[in-house]
Each structure stands twice: as C-alpha cells, then as structure tokens.
C-alpha cells in the first residue's frame, strides 16, 4: 500500500473517493485483508482521523450526505469505536499508566531475541511474518490483521502484550494510545475480563482469500490473560475558557491538525502559531521513520493553512517557552490532548510556562464533550447513544436510526 500523503488535501480526496462505498459495499467486504490489492474494501482514512487532519464529525457528515444511518451503520460504528476508546481511557487514565509500567517492565525482562524475531518477521508462521513486514514497511495493517497478529503474539508466541502494543504504536501511522492499548487488552482478555480473541487458521484463510493459512501452527486453546479490575471512573474535568483580548499563541499537536480558530471564541486575539511534537514520546524505543515523517509533514501542512507568523515545530518544550516569551504571549491555547504522550508533553509544558506567567488553556471539541461521558461501560451501551450524538452535532438530515447491537 502506498504511503498516505500527510495533507488535508489528500485526506479530503480519499474521503470523497470512499464515500460512495461506505454503505453496503463496506458492510459486505470490510473484513477482507488484501494488501496486494491496496486494501480496496476499507477507507484507509485512519491516519487522517487519528491526527484529526479530518475530524470524525467531517467524515460522518460526508457519509450521511450520501447514505442513511441504516445503510452506513457498519462504517459509522467503526468511526465511533475510535471515539469510544478515547473516552474509555480518558475516564480511566490509570490504565494508561499501568500499560507504561508494564511495557517498561516487560522490555527489561523479556528475551530480546524472541522479540526481535517477532518484530522482524522471522518466526515459523508465514502469515505473521508477512504482517510484520507490511507494518514496518508501510505503517499500516488492516484491522483484521491487527487482531490476528496480536492474538498470535500473545497466545502462540507467548510474548508480553505490552511489548506488542509498543511495536504497533511505534510503527502505525494511525497509532493511537487509546485505540491501540485497549485493542491489545481486548485481544488478551483484559479489557472484557475472561473474553479473549484467538486467531484461527480457517478465519485467516477465508479473509485473506486463501493467501495465508497457518494451519496447525496456532495455539487455539489458550486461556485469557488475567489482570487487575478496571479502575474507578474519573469524570471529565471542566476546562477553563481562554482569556479575551490578550496576546495569545495557538499551539498545535499531533492530536488535532484541523485548527479551528472558532474554538477559541471571537474575542481571543491569536498572534502567533507553533507546534509541539510528541511522536518520539510514544516509546522508549526508536519510533518508525515513517511515523516521524508523517507527523512532521502533517503538522507542517496544518501550520501552512494558518495565517500569521509561523513559530517552531519542535519536540523540545524549551523551544515553545522561548517562542512564547519572544512573541510576548500572555496565554497559549491548544486543542485538548487525550490521555497519551501528547497529554504528558502538555502537562510538562504547562508547568514550564507557569514560571513565565503565561497561561495555558486546552479546548475540548464538542464531539468529545458529547461522546466521552458515555464510555462508562462496553461499546454496545455506548453505541446506543450514537444517533443522539449525530443529532446533537447536526450531522444528518436523516431521521434518527436505532443502531442494532449485533457484534461488528
């Protein structure tokens, strides 16, 4: 598969090309993993949605301009899965902290040669090896292949799930802290306790159209992993409004590259722009050059669409503090960063800015404010809220549709 051009124009073109196929075509063929054909039955929008080069609301509005909610139910649900995962983790930040601790512990104690063989595709399972190569070489894997890969990693190769999740996060262009971590937990049997996902050769053969068939090599009798109960939910904290009439800088992060100045309000005076990268914070191990290049170029594209003086695009918090001081800023505003490396970077930045009497304000999108509080239980309870969220966002002229609750 060709690398996704990291621009708003490319994202819009891909969305426009896919919209006609978001209904029955997607529902019928979305599970087929066909890299040699360029994955023709899925949208390949995930790198753009993950970085909000296009927003979830824009994607859903475009789809519902062509299809009813009933016709596009499968695709809409997939978009909302990403929102649900973000909300679920936002309400339970301890799960991310536990993943970080588990990852670092596992990296220190797991046989590095076994991890290397898996990550370089040198096992005795040809299908697994092919997915490892595709991931490293393209920054992408089909969703079904991600499930198979994670299952084989955990239950057949018996490697720590946290190290596998780290491998994905370092290489996926759409690597998202919430979706990635919680999906690996789901495969392992930790997210829905006792319910795990076991890859089966017959399923792999069917949905690769016979390209892969690991036959007897898979462990199909493994038990789910066990772990700690889910932590108590932490409600979303209210966010302060930005001050009006003061010199303000807009800060971009890789979490939201659709800079919407209307989020700030009409009387917030933005005079300068900069960006703080966090892609290298995804892991203590080297992040893929494809991920680094995509993030850099996507941020540069977003910055190029903004008026006014362009500041630094940097990993270094000190660079942002210097930029703010040199520009005479009294406050910095940025789109809210959910749990993950970007959020950790912003916490460190806020602490650094406080010593310079520069206020720091995060702005949460209405989409997240409407959606995340419903991620209190499983996806299917959340799914019941989808028509109301779509209606509240004003995304569809169609009458509300009650989503069925069959397994996706």
Question: Which of the four pLDDT bands, split at 50, 70 and 90, describes residue 205?
Answer: very high
CATH topology of domain 247-366: Rossmann fold (3.40.50)
How far is CA 4 from each of CA 138, 252, 257, 310, rounded to the nearest angstrom?
9, 21, 15, 25
Kindly state the average pLDDT of the residues 143-150. 98
Enter the pTM of the model: 0.94
Q: Are 323 and 316 in contact (CB under 8 A)?
A: no
pLDDT for res 64? 96
Residue 20 carries which DSSP code? G
Instruction: Give the other-Cβ count within 10 Å of 398's Cβ.
Output: 17
Q: Residue 402: which pLDDT band, with cuts at 50, 70 and 90?
A: very low
What ranges do the domains of the chain cover?
8-89+377-392, 100-217, 247-366
- Give the pLDDT of residue 408: 24
Residue in this structure with the two tokens 């309000």, named with its chain if needed: 265
90-137 pLDDT tens trace = 999 999 999 999 999 999 999 999 999 999 999 999 999 999 999 999
Domain 8-89+377-392 CATH (choose: 1.25.40, 1.10.3470, 1.10.10, 1.10.760)? 1.25.40
Q: How does pLDDT run across 9-38, given as a tens digit for each residue? A: 999 999 999 999 999 999 999 999 999 999
Per-residue model confidence (pLDDT) at position 75: 97
pLDDT at position 396 is 63
* Res. 405: pLDDT tops 70: no
- Specify the CATH number of the domain 100-217: 1.10.579.10
Residue 398, pLDDT > 90, answer no
**Minimal CA–CA distance to 301: which of 17, 18, 4?**
4
Contact by Cβ (8 Å): 123, 117? yes
Residues 152-196 pLDDT 10s: 999 999 999 999 999 999 999 999 999 999 999 999 999 998 899
Rounded mean pLDDT of 327-339? Answer: 96
The whole-angstrom separation of Cα 168 and Cα 139 is 9
Phi and psi of 276, rounded to 5°? -115, 115
Q: Is the pLDDT of residue 400 over 70?
A: no
Mean pLDDT confidence for 67-78: 95
pLDDT tens by residue, 209-229: 999 998 888 999 999 999 999
d(CA 353, CA 346): 10
The reported pLDDT for the residue numbered 4 is 81
Q: What is the pLDDT of residues 229-284, one digit of tens each?
A: 999 999 999 999 999 999 999 999 999 999 877 777 778 889 999 999 999 999 99
């Amino acid at each position: 598969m060709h690398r996704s051009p990291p621009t708003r124009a490319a994202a819009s073109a891909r969305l426009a090309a896919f919209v006609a196929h978001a209904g029955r075509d997607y529902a019928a063929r979305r599970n087929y993993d066909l890299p040699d054909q360029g994955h023709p039955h899925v949208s390949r929008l995930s790198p753009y949605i993950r970085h909000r080069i296009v927003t979830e609301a824009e994607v859903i509005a475009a789809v519902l301009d062509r299809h009813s909610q009933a016709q596009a139910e499968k695709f809409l649900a997939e978009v909302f899965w990403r929102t649900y995962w973000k909300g679920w983790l936002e309400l339970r930040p301890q799960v991310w902290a536990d993943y970080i601790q588990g990852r670092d512990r596992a990296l220190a104690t797991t046989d590095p040669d076994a991890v290397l063989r898996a990550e370089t595709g040198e096992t005795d399972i040809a299908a697994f090896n092919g997915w490892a190569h595709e991931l490293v070489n393209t920054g992408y894997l089909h969703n079904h292949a991600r499930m198979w890969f994670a299952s084989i990693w955990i239950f057949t190769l018996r490697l720590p799930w946290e190290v596998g999740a780290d491998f994905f996060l370092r290489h996926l262009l759409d690597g998202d802290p919430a979706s990635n971590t919680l999906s690996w937990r789901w495969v392992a049997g930790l997210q829905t306790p006792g319910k795990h996902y076991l890859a089966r050769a017959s399923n792999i053969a069917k949905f690769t159209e016979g390209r892969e068939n690991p036959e007897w090599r898979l462990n199909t009798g493994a038990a789910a992993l066990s772990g700690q109960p889910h932590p108590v939910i932490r409600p979303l904290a209210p966010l302060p409004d930005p001050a009006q009439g003061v010199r303000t800088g807009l800060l971009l992060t890789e979490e939201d590259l659709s800079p919407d100045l209307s989020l700030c309000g009409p009387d917030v005076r933005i005079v300068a722009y900069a960006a703080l990268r966090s892609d290298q914070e995804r892991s203590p191990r080297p992040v893929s050059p494809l991920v680094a290049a995509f993030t850099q170029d996507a941020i540069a594209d977003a910055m190029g669409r903004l008026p006014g003086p362009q500041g630094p695009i940097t990993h270094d918090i000190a660079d942002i503090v210097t930029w703010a001081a040199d520009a005479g800023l009294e406050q910095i505003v940025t789109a809210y960063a959910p749990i993950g490396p970007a959020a950790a970077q912003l916490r460190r930045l806020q602490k650094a800015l406080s010593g310079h009497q520069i206020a720091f304000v995060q702005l949460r999108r209405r989409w997240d404010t409407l959606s995340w509080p419903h991620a209190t239980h499983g996806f299917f309870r959340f799914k019941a809220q989808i028509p109301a969220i779509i209606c509240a966002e004003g995304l569809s002229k169609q009458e509300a549709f009650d989503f069925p609750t069959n397994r996706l």
